[in-house]
Amino acid sequence: MATATTAGAKEVPKIVWNERQQKFETEDREAYLNYQMRDGGKVMDIVHTFVPNSKRGLGLASHLCVSAFTHAKSHSMSVVPTCSYVSDTFLPRNSSWNAVVYTEDAKSNM
């Protein structure tokens, strides 16, 4: 959701869920996160995150991940972080989302 904030603060980009193409993307569709559904829709496998060079350093990849993880959590899904950005950068910086990450233990509770 694009929102105006105090002077000098960054705007939060609007992230759109494109269910048909299995992606979360910025309104301009230049930055996106691709996923695949697994286990009958109970698991979201995040397979790729892309931000063009012209938009790197703005936190877009993180915003895309937050949107995907929020969606998964609100729909009682687990997330498989196949994408290296998600597993190596986003999750170590945002450990609160580890509770949504798929584990074999979570599968046995389903």
Q: Is 20 left (phi over 0), alpha (psi -120 to 50) or beta?
A: alpha
Residues near 58 by beta carbon (within 8 Å), at least 6 away in sequence: 10, 13, 51
Q: What is the DSSP letter of 86?
A: I
Which residues are annotated as catalytic?
83
